[in-house]
Amino acid sequence: MEAQHQKSQRGKPSYSISAIGISLSSAILGNLHMKYNAMKVPIHPQHISVLSRRRYGVCYACGLKLISSGYHYGYNYGCEECPLSFHIACANSLRRPLKRKSHQHDLYYFGTDFLRFFAMYRNFIDLDAGLCCSHCGQIWSSQPFYRCLECGINFHLECVPLPQIVKSKSHIHPFTLKNSFIEDETEEHYCDICEEKRYLSDQMYFCKKCHGLFVTHLECALVNEEEILSNLVPRESKRERREREMKMRMRERERERERERERQRREWEMRMGRRMRERQH
């Protein structure tokens, strides 16, 4: 379902959604980063999802409540035939799956757009919807992360883990992971592999030897991965932390037992000393 042009009262083009009776100005659609009022979400390709003000339920992607006002003008994507709904920021996050041997399901990158949404509504949405990294157990809020929709779990980028430097079939030189990169002063920036728009604050891979003239989404670089030259250092896992804490507790108990033995030895020596002195007198 594509948007239909109309003329607004001020002479600016608008787009109507006849199915739900909503009219959006082109400026609003531009701010939503959408060309049309409907899209096929890659994880639900059998049906069309349309912009709506659906107020109840949760986003299928992030598990947080739908928001009916404010960010993204209160619009969400809702499937016309299923009860599935998505925040617009989440729908944008589902465009490119990441496949890694460390996890059996596809992972999706939740970056700048989602974090902006989350920062505005963290006081109004459910904060018990899985804010912890499944690998290390630490909070991921305010940091981009990868999410498995099937398991409903999240990972820090280094806990996936992602390569720091990787050789890909998509380019003659290795790619280096970078938190952000602005190659020129143009307003819009694109991935040099898929040629789709990328957000400047999102992590990406770029070519040092080409002086940043080749920049790509993380998933686009890794889909044709040839060789990992170095990995990000993963955070300590929950199991590793439990084992470390258990060892620390065992060492502390052993030190306590040693202190107790030392205390008993001194008491024995003091008693023996008193007895020796009593016998001498």
Q: In this model, does residue 32 exceed pLDDT 80?
A: no
Place of tokens 């250092």: 233
Q: Which residue has the higher pLDDT, 94 or 127?
A: 94
For residue 272 the two structure tokens come to: 């023996």
Q: In this model, does residue 130 exceed pLDDT 60?
A: no
Contacts of 19 (CB under 8 A, 6+ apart): 1, 50, 80
Looking at every residue in the chain, the average pLDDT score rounds to 77
Q: In this model, does residue 176 exceed pLDDT 90?
A: yes
Q: Which of 124, 139, 147 is nearest to 55 (CA)?
A: 124
Say if residue 120 is exposed, middle or buried (CB neighbours under 10 Å; 0-12, 13-18, 19+): middle
Q: In this model, does residue 78 exceed pLDDT 70?
A: yes
Q: How far is CA 206 from CA 37, 179, 213, 218, 231, in A?
A: 33, 10, 8, 9, 15
The pairing of strands 225-231 and 49-52 is unpaired
Report DSSP state, residue 68: -
Residue-wise pLDDT tens digits, 243-262: 777 888 888 888 888 888 88
Q: In this model, does residue 230 exceed pLDDT 60?
A: yes
The pLDDT value recorded for residue 73 is 64
CA–CA dist 58, 53 (Å, integer): 13
pTM, entire model = 0.69
When pLDDT is cut at 50, 70 and 90, the band that residue 165 belongs to is: very high
> Region 68-95: what's the mean pLDDT?
79
| Helix (H) or strand (E) segment spanning residue 242 | helix 238-280
The pLDDT value recorded for residue 281 is 67
Cis amide leading into 161 (omega within 30): yes
The pLDDT value recorded for residue 184 is 65
Residue-wise pLDDT tens digits, 201-221: 888 999 999 887 899 999 999
Report DSSP state, residue 17: E
The pairing of strands 22-25 and 215-216 is unpaired
When pLDDT is cut at 50, 70 and 90, the band that residue 91 belongs to is: confident
Q: Which residue has the higher pLDDT, 267 or 42?
A: 267
The pLDDT value recorded for residue 33 is 43
> Region 80-96: what's the mean pLDDT?
85
Q: Which residue has the higher pLDDT, 139 or 224?
A: 224
The pLDDT value recorded for residue 3 is 37
For residue 252 the two structure tokens come to: 């502390």
